[in-house]
Structure 1
Amino acid sequence: MTAQPYKVDVRSLDAFSARDLYAMLKLRVDVFVVEQECPYPELDGNDPQCLHLRLLDGTDLLACARIWRPDPQRPPRIGRVAVSPVHRGKRLGEALMREAIAECEKLHPHEPIELSAQSHLVKFYGSLGFEPVSEEYLEDGIPHTDMRRPAS
């Protein structure tokens, strides 16, 4: 078995150094606001309640996602899934999602996992066991579909 070409890091917002936090937020803004031409409040006030999963190559940020802890109304959720544009084409999106799913299952066993997928990625998330649970809707001008992965 070959070693992973990346390191997995999961931490709360308070555990980030200023430099690491800057890198993660910059990646998210670069992908969701600049690349997707979608002006929306990336800093939405939810990061302090979430865990943040990163894939790293040394100190180089390859990809990141945030994991919402469950609450009485919702199971754990995965969001803000972003892969650095310079590292795309290396199946890092799939690796990132597999790590995020594993983290959710470790922390919250026997619970389903939800996400809000950009609709053009429904097939991708479907390949990871997620199923659509809503009609398509617009979020910040981009078509989305709510999806759920059954509890393991």
Structure 2
Amino acid sequence: MTPQISVTRDIDTCLALRRVVFIDEQGVSEIDERDDLDDSAVHLLAIVGGVPVGSARLLLLGDMGKVGRVCVLRSQRGTGLGAALIRAAVDQFRAMPGITTVKLSAQSHATGFYEKLGFTEFGGEYEDAGIPHRDMTFPL
């Protein structure tokens, strides 16, 4: 089935998906996963067959858009849903006046995935919530 990805105000569903992926599967603490940025962010929700299966959080940082908290339920991994979420996020930022770059903090094991979507690594590896990460950008 083709995923439906759209902007949502249903933050609770996005948080529930993030809980499954980040807290339950990856062992990230709730303190590290939750912050005060959710209320001011744009949230994307992916639905397949009427069921929420993935989400992403978009933040505006001056002329930069930041994609974060990208999660896809295990049952949907490998289907192209993650790539579709990232493309939808880039499209959202492209439609916003003044945004020139998209940034994300990729878990280091996933940098190849983001490189295939046009992102480039910069800076060194660092730890976030106990997981190695690399910063990546995509020029608009």
**TM-score normalized by structure 2?**
0.90
The Cα of 1:38 is off from its aligned counterpart by: 2.0
SS in 2 for 1:89: coil
SS in 2 for 1:94: helix
Listed as ranges, the gaps of 5+ residues in structure 2 are none
Q: For 1:48-59, list aligned pairs within 5 A.
A: 48-59=39-50
Deviations 1:81-137 (A, max 9, x none): 000112222111111111111111112465010000000111111111111111001
Distance of 2:118 and 2:97 partners within structure 1: 17
Listed as ranges, the gaps of 5+ residues in structure 1 are none
Larger Rg: 1
For residue 34 of structure 2, the aligned residue among 38, 43, 53 is 43
For residue 10 of structure 1, the aligned residue among 7, 14, 18 is 7
Deviations 1:36-67 (A, max 9, x none): 12224222111011100111125311211010
Match of 2:107 in 1: 118
Distance of 2:36 and 2:53 partners within structure 1: 24
**Structure (1 or 2) with the greater strand fraction:** 2
Match of 2:68 in 1: 79
Contact 1:76 1:113 in 2 (8 A): yes
What's the % identity of the aligned pairs?
35
Q: What root-mean-square deviation, in Å, do the aligned CA atoms of Structure 1 and Structure 2 show?
A: 1.7
Distance of 2:23 and 2:50 partners within structure 1: 24
Distance of 1:95 and 1:85 partners within structure 2: 15
The code of the aligned residue for 2:134 comes to: T
Tell me whether 1:132 sits opposite 2:129 in the alignment: no
For residue 60 of structure 1, the aligned residue among 51, 75, 95 is 51
How many equivalent residue pairs?
139
SS in 2 for 1:107: coil
SS in 2 for 1:38: coil
More displaced stretch, 116-125 vs 33-42: 33-42
**TM-score normalized by structure 1?**
0.83
SS in 2 for 1:69: strand
Off by >2 Å, runs of 4+ in structure 1: none
